Each structure stands twice: as structure tokens, then as C-alpha cells.
Structure 1
């Protein structure tokens, strides 16, 4: 198997097997074994914290969150300025600022965790795409080689048939010249 991998590496990728990255070697092994590289990367996350972070980030970055948040803020301001005679949080709404600061302090790291996880998923998807594309390119190169070999066999057969015809024509011409040459 190692010899086959080395030959494929040098013939198709024009590099020695040792020069290839581990990912390229893995793809070449799949090619040699006629195996698949593609796999499903959309597996559900098993980590509860990661799932919560994704949901919080998804909701925190939605128009629904912005709308609900705007309604709560407007309600708080209306409650403390117009509705209640003795306001719980009078203007400049210090308690509301405290709550907003705490919400931001909790929400920001959760959103960052979700973004980091998404970036890792994107890196894995990009690496997977590279492997699939490399295998496809290698398989296309192998198909081109096979087609070239078939063309060469067909051309060699045609050349052999052409040589046989030329030999037959030369023999016929030689026989005609011998027959006509002997009569003159």
C-alpha cells in the first residue's frame, strides 16, 4: 500500500509522500482505498452549555429580542414617570442602568462563546471541503490518465493497422512492378 501511495503522490500531486501534509496523506489513502472522504459535520452538540450559548446568541441577535427589549424599556420608563405616583426607579433610572449593565455583562461572554464555537465549526467545514475537493481533483486526474491510456491503445491499434495496410500496398505495388517490369 505504501508503494501505491508514493506512486500516486508523485504522479498526481507531483510531491513525494513525505512532503504532503497529514490531511493530504489521509485524502490520498482514501483515493488508494477507493473510500469516501465526505462525512456529515452537522452532528447535534452534546454539551449543554454550548447549546444554551447558541440559543442565547440566536435569540439575543434577533429582531424579536430587540422588539421585546424596546417594549420592556419603554414600559419601565412609562411606569416610573407617568403611571406610578411614587416611582420605584425615578429619572435618571439608576436601577434600570444597573440591570442593563448586568444583562450586557452576562450576555456578551455567552455570545462570544457561541461565536467561537461557530468559528470552530467553520474551520472544520473548510478543512472538510478542502479534503473533498482534493479527492475530487485527484480522481479527475486519474480519469484523465485512464482516458489518455485508452487513447494511446486505440492510436497504437490504428498505427498497427495502418502499417499493415502500407505493407500490403507496398507488397502489391512491388508485385505489380515485378509483373510489369518482367514484361517490358
Structure 2
């Protein structure tokens, strides 16, 4: 038996595809507005305290030397509100400072997380503090899902960093 597709059926299929595509497109703004609401969630200013928990001082002072650790995350009043994790690689070693590339994550006690990367100077003398440098927010979870932007660091002393997001 031979079947022939008529123009009427072809148009009907195209119309159905157009309706499905239109419905899908109309539902996208709702998804986008949900994501936008995550991006506007206020990311708190925090302090990362890696004193006594980071092994930077114990590794070779050479390009390619890796170090990392965990630190306490504190709010602006000094209360511990989470844990910070970092993994770093020394990329430049000079007489006055060492530069390292780090990836890090802040895990707050409520389960929310923020991730960042940065290249930062590690002064070889205590008199080089405070020192400012920038990083990139690479993402977040839950309340901070879709978060992106800049991470502003101020190194107050060895292992202590004030961190603001924008």
C-alpha cells in the first residue's frame, strides 16, 4: 500500500512544532528570573583564617611547589560561620615575594558554598602587610547558585584574609 503525505498534514506538523517551541520559549523567562534572583543574593563579607592549617611554609620555595589546607571562615563580628579550603601552586619565586595560583572554596555552616580562583603574592617579610589582590568568583551553590564576579582580598597577615565579593 502506498501512502502520500499531503500538504495539509505537513502544515499540521509544522504548526504543532511551532506551538511546542513557543510554549518552551515562553517558559524560559521564568527560569531566567529564578536564576537572576540567585545572582542578587547578598554574598557576605568574610575573613578567611588559615593560620596553623595551611602548609605553605613547609613546602619548597620553588616554582611548582603545591600547598593547601583548610581555614576558619569568620563573619564581620569574628564568629566562625564555615570552613575554607584552598589548593595552591607556586608560580613565581622572587627575593621579596612568591606568587601562587590558588583555587578555593568557602563552605558556610548552612551548606551554601562559593568557589573562587586567584593569583596572589605571598610576602617574604611581615612588614609587607596589608596587601590587596583580586580573584574571580567561579560559582556557588544553593542561595549563591549562578554567582559570578570579583573576589577582593586583603591579606592582613600571614594566613589571614578579608574577603569581599562583588
TM-score surpassing 0.5? Answer: no
Structure number with higher helix proportion: 1
Rg larger for: 1
Structure number with higher strand proportion: 2
- Normalising by structure 2, we get a TM-score of 0.25
- Normalising by structure 1, we get a TM-score of 0.23
